[in-house]
Structure 1
């Protein structure tokens, strides 16, 4: 299993890297207007005038007021087309102030114009394109210009092409046959209109370049924010460094790495990583795509290394990275390299912010100027997307994308405040989104996207929490229950430490690979090693058990990847807090009601069995209560009612990994071949859960010395066409090695019910018995009811998200009723033992008493059929029959 999973992970990484295109161009330069009119100064150009509604003419100066040119209904601002280059871009920043539709911008190319419609959201179209392939000459792209908002409209043209950009976002392009500009450009003509500036460029805007024109008027973004009812807070910090540590904190850190052996050892890991991966500088052929996130991480690590040592070689390397990062083209803001552009932006903003703040006195003035320029455009662009709801996740609060991006935006706001005028608006945009995100996280600390994604979120949320506490007094550690308990969930999801999988790395180093059980889009390993966050949360909540957990991981994983750049600072904070490691383990049984998960384990002795049962709504009950639309929680799987199991030294039953969302790929039920709501797609569509307030839930969760018992109702998760009317799953864990599962099933018509159990281990089935077996242990599966039931075994392909990667093969044991029925009861027994230890195992049911025997040990469970089904332990199993 270990080799198979390692080969799969390596193959996926190689495929992803190979698919990324390369940027070979030189770094792009600031975009300079060829012609511009800024109405903050008096404009008297004879090539720009106003035509009045009665056919008269007046000067522009007569309509200027407070840096804005105001046009009354029927007035048109006219510009001589001689000011336009033969091929280039015209940008106009406008604000409409009344309803109704009409022309905004007419070009000197026949009937080509930008026009706004009458709808409430004010769509803007580019129409009348000469030679366009569309019958009506309308460009296949649009923007939206709400009344009262400043909007930048940009149209690029060449002899055979037209492009439209709307507030920095690519809106569409098309082929055209255009002559040389001749005549006039006309702005307005029907609607009351305000114009802030006009700019003509002698280049055709293409994707990222348009961002360089978006923030020409930074006060426009601030003014729009005020119109949206936002009042930016005032920053507290002035002296540098101000991000995550003060000058005194840095001095203490530099002293600690010299005096504290643990701090020195962790610093040595940083240095090793630097020398192996970062010291050589930025690759000459710059990779783009999601891999750019790592450049932000490396830059952040360089800042921390400098802060911890004062060694200027880190400044030199950081300067090389900064020189490349400030190239607009590698930020993936738009086509052709778009891939998770928000995450890329979040990482790069965070890296630039830390470097700017921690290395401020050492960076070259010219480089800092370029940093300010690109951060101003990029941060301004994302603040605009958040505030104007023009970002994929603007109205979807339960996802890692928003947390990562808003953390980078907040870091940029804190680092650059005082040097750039818009930072208060950036901070306000980030705080607004994050407030919603934090308020709806499951307060029990449970995970829903998958532990790997929870770790990704957590790493950035800790940064955000420290920034807003220092700057604005927001106390996320007090107000967000999820932060206080999420490390509990991670620890309780661990498989026994003796079975953690270690991956050997070059240079004699090693990393922790598989050490947990997870649901959602997470492989059974940490995406991000949890030592740093564990120590940070230990310091904040005085949790010595978190420190002990971090020490266990730290003793095994010494690889220190670039994203762990804050582990050193967090270890220092844990030391300063005075909290000490403690050996008291967490409870072996854990119930997380908001996310609907029960974690059952036989103990913490190192040989325990661990089962996790999921039966809850996608992102938790708090989100379900507060939202009526999907919240970006597409990493959740259609696995309500599913189980995962580690026992006898093997990962016996596994969730379906980072996969296409199919109920049939999960350890749960299908009915007549139909699965759960929102499945059969790349990302789970959780719309129905929020719209109809569907709440599959845990009905019972209790723990005793000899057994645990949990019951979940998964009925609400299923598609209406399945006909399902009842799916209650009972799980009785007879410690330490046996699970009795009873599934109450009913439908509105005679149906075939199928439950599945997936494993990476080899398997087989015959009649009503099946087995998965590995190198260390094996799992027997016995179907006791219904009488017509059967178990089958097959090798199946799991459809993975990365379609370039071959599907992973898994073994699947399927239990089904062979005669369609409107209702039935599946009773299944799972027994785990070391390899060869299940040979004398037997399970049977007679007179509603389930008898499980292994060797001389006998355990009995009563099946109570009164008002439904209930399992009751008849004999604990301590004696012999």
Structure 2
């Protein structure tokens, strides 16, 4: 049976169980009757004031938020401008503005922030709707008004409160009961997390005005959000990757914190297997260069401060989880961080955390299974020239998945040599008629250049796509300093194209990377392409490819496979809907396999300083230890 079908059946059963285990003891009255009641209770702002009075880094972040709240006076009020099928950019900007302004008011008491936020909220309340056909838009807009309404409650006039409360009910909570819009209740991905969080914030904010509707919404959310949280099992690897971790998990944490603040418990939700462990996944998804491992529908580029990590660090009492976040706060200018719409939550969740002496993590190999297993390996957390190796198994059938099973990324000497494009802007494709979110084998999604296996750092056989229904786990891994590695049998992904394919990746003696493929070919001859995407310049020198970037060099050399000849392929798009990919090129080779051939392809990725240290590796994957 298809892995995804099995998972759906199992998750359906787990949802029924979660209704019993997590939904039985929810009080029928709201225990907290005063405002503010969301995230930061009345008087708790004094803890933040104490923190910023003695910690310069926290003060810098606080100051950046206040400065941004002041700057918003120069911005025009938001308008209901929909782009394609989404109002999401407006909803997100609303959340950013109102959260920053609300924080500024709570910490300074200055009425000017209330006046600016009030104008914004009344304008939004007057929109015809918040675009319920794309319910993420409604969720974020509801959360925005809920925070502003709750945090500024005593400073808003009675008429203003009534208008905002009515809008939260009319445009937010009530549409969530329309079956044309609320499919998110059955989703196992970020839609469930974001939409339930938005609805719960709205319900908590206006509870007095609509107690029956609010109570029903809160109970519904606590019963249904476990369906998405089950996807963190068993180890915390988030199936949708880096970018959507920042989205889904952040809103999940906002949800949990709001619930626990009000009821004194999150009803066991944070104890769902894998959820607390997911902070380790996210921390390890940032490479030595500061670039994220951006597989799937994730953006490229450097990561940014992630407030949810402060919640995880505080709740688990694990300050090393903040190693990456601390480096973001080390920057001289923190104003760029204010583009994060939930940035004030970092101040809320970090208010009892000292940034002095955050210890470097000790674990250099992190492996997670689940719907999209990954292995994340590095030689050091403190050496800027360290090697970082990310390896992905999984399935293209997961939400926001790519045909990237067996793909890897690699960094050394401060350069990302093997890269992933990540996603293309959705509207740029949808506006040209691309049906982007189909997940069947013949879905139009796989015609998009960045999404199929041709451009990922994996294998392609006879020019065919990987199989959407295929699934691969991390079969074995090792975490020794001399040879950390991970191995995955990815045969299901190539069903009908080869009899067996197993790929292993590892770092040899802390000096260079080894990639080994063991393949049993089909009965008929086949052409197997080994591919790697890179931002470097590539020259071919006899039996090796030389990559050059930022004054550094990396050498690609094959060890195995007769007649291997390195070559390059262009990343120029061949359609009018694919985005250009300047400054990138693909490098690799094609191997002509005879019928039933049983063989290995082995490649080493060697930084220049390790060129004289390369060994001839002949061990089969079964002997990797």
Q: Is 1:652 the counterpart of 2:417 in the alignment?
A: yes
1:383 aligned counterpart, secondary structure: helix
Match in the other structure for 1:136: none
The CA distance in 2 between the partners of 1:809 and 1:392, in whole Å, is 41
- Contact 2:411–2:417 (8 Å) recurs in 1: yes
Which deviations, in whole Å up to 9, do the C-alpha atoms of 1:285-304 show, x marking residues without a partner? 65443221211221122112
* Structure 1 residue 528 displacement after superposition: 4.8
Q: Say whether residues 1:815 and 2:609 are aligned partners.
A: no
Shift of 1:255: 5.1
Q: Match for residue 327 of structure 2?
A: 552
The whole-number CA distance in structure 1 between the counterparts of 2:536 and 2:198 is 42
Distance 1:814 1:545, change over 3 A: same
Residue 410 of structure 1 deviates from its aligned partner by 0.5
Indicate whether 1:446 and 2:206 are aligned.
no
**Among 226, 242, 248, which residue is 2:43 paired with?**
248
Q: 1:240–1:357: 8 Å Cα contact kept in structure 2?
A: yes
Query: Does the 8 Å contact 1:779/1:830 carry over to 2?
Result: no
Residue 753 of structure 1: SS of its match in structure 2? strand
1:487 corresponds to 2:279: yes
Give the alignment of 1:582-661 within 5 angstroms. 582-594=358-370, 595-604=372-381, 605-617=383-395, 633-659=398-424, 660=448, 661=451
Residues 388 and 410 of structure 2 are in contact (CA less than 8 Å); yes or no, is this contact kept in structure 1?
A: yes
- In structure 2, relative to structure 1, the CA distance for the partners of 1:734 and 1:395 (3 Å cut) is same
Q: Which residue of 2 aligns with 1:307?
A: 106
Q: Larger Cα Rg: Structure 1 or Structure 2?
A: 1
Cα separation, partners in 2 of 1:449 and 1:482, compared to 1, 3 Å: same
Are 1:672 and 2:462 an aligned pair?
yes
In structure 2, the CA distance between the partners of 1:582 and 1:641, relative to structure 1 (3 Å rule), is: same
Query: Deviation string for 1:154-201 (max 9, x for gaps)?
Result: xxxxxxxxxxxxxxxxxxxxxxxxxxxxxxxxxxxxxxxxxxxxxxxx
RMSD of aligned residue pairs (Cα, Å): 3.0
Instruction: Give the structure 2 partner of residue 413 of structure 1.
Output: 203
Structure 2 residue 169 is the aligned partner of structure 1 residue 376: yes
| TM-superposition CA deviations, 1:463-513 (whole Å, max 9, x none) | 1011222344324574134442223223223332xx44xxxxxxxxxxxxx
Give the aligned partner of residue 757 of structure 1.
Answer: 532
Kindly report which structure 2 residues correspond to 1:459-858, keeping only aligned pairs within 5 A, or say none: 459-472=250-263, 473-475=265-267, 478-496=270-288, 499-500=289-290, 515-525=291-301, 528-530=304-306, 532-556=307-331, 558-562=334-338, 564=340, 567-568=343-344, 570-571=346-347, 573-576=349-352, 581-594=357-370, 595-604=372-381, 605-617=383-395, 633-659=398-424, 660=448, 661-678=451-468, 688=469, 695-718=471-494, 720=495, 722-745=496-519, 746-765=521-540, 768-797=543-572, 803=577, 805-808=579-582, 810-818=584-592, 820-834=594-608, 837=609, 841=611, 854=612, 857=613
Alignment of 1:252-263 (within 5 A): 252-254=47-49, 256-258=51-53, 260-263=55-58
Q: Distance in 2 between matches of 1:242 and 1:799?
A: 54
Match of 1:347 in 2: 140
Task: Tell me the SS of whatever aligns to 2:128.
Answer: helix
Measured after TM superposition, the shift of residue 522 of structure 1 is: 1.6
Q: Does 1:437 align with 2:214?
A: no
2:231–2:239 contact (8 Å) kept in structure 1: no
Structure 1 residue 555: deviation in Å? Answer: 0.7
Q: Deviations over 1:318-377 (max 9, x none)?
A: 01101211123362335xxxxxx3222111111100111111121122222221222112
Distance 1:405 1:363 in 2: 26
Distance in 1 separating the partners of 2:99 and 2:518: 53
Higher helix share: 2
Deviation of 1:573 (Å)? 4.5
User: Which residue of the partner structure matches residue 323 of structure 1?
Assistant: 122
SS of 1:440's equivalent in the other structure is: helix
Unaligned 5+ runs, structure 1: 1-228, 335-340, 501-514, 619-629, 679-687, 689-693, 842-853, 874-881
Contact persistence 1:544–1:581 (CA under 8 A): no
How far the C-alpha of 1:523 sits from its partner, in A, is: 2.9
Tell me if structure 2 keeps the 8 A contact 1:273–1:560: no
- Structure 2's unaligned 5+ residue stretches are 1-22, 425-447
Residue 89 (structure 2) aligns with: 291
**Higher RCO (C-alpha 8 Å, min separation 6):** 2
Q: Distance in 1 between matches of 2:78 and 2:355?
A: 46
When structure 1 is superposed on structure 2, of 425-434 and 669-678 the one drifting more is 425-434
Distance 1:786 1:551, change over 3 A: closer
Structure 1 position 271, deviation (Å)? 1.8
Distance 1:537 1:312, change over 3 A: same
* 1:807, distance to aligned residue in structure 2 (A): 4.6
Distance verdict in 2 for CA 1:798–1:309, change over 3 Å:
farther
Distance 2:579 2:88 in 1: 17
The corresponding residue for 2:219 is: 428
Inter-partner Cα distance in structure 2 for 1:456 and 1:319: 26
CA distance in structure 1 between the partners assigned to 2:140 and 2:301 by the alignment:
22
Q: Would you say the 8 A contact 1:545–1:585 is kept in 2?
A: yes
Shift in alpha-carbon separation, 1:495–1:320, aligned structure 2, 3 A: same
Residue 160 of structure 2 corresponds to: 367
Please tell me whether the aligned partners of residues 571 and 581 of structure 2 are also in contact (alpha carbons under 8 angstroms): no
Partners of 1:233 and 1:428 within 8 A in 2: no
User: Which structure carries more strand by proportion?
Assistant: 1
- Cα deviation code 1:18-50 (max 9, x no counterpart): xxxxxxxxxxxxxxxxxxxxxxxxxxxxxxxxx
Secondary structure of 2:352's partner? helix
**Which whole-Å CA distance do the structure 1 matches of 2:595 and 2:558 have between them?**
17
- 1:393–1:527: structure 2 CA closer, same or farther, 3 Å change rule? farther
Partners of 1:284 and 1:372 lie apart in 2 by 19
Q: Distance in 2 between matches of 1:477 and 1:553?
A: 29
In the TM superposition, residue 527 of structure 1 has moved relative to its aligned partner by 5.9
Query: Structure 1 CA distance, aligned partners of 2:218 and 2:294?
Result: 34
The alignment partner of 2:247 has SS state of helix
Q: Provide the aligned length of Structure 1 versus Structure 2.
A: 567
1:648 and 1:476, CA in 2 relative to 1: closer, same or farther beyond 3 A? farther
Q: Is the 8 A contact 2:78 2:124 kept in 1?
A: no
CA distance in 1, matches of 2:378, 2:487: 16
TM-score, normalised relative to structure 2: 0.83
The whole-number CA distance in structure 2 between the counterparts of 1:259 and 1:785 is 60
What is the Cα deviation at residue 311 of structure 1? Answer: 1.0
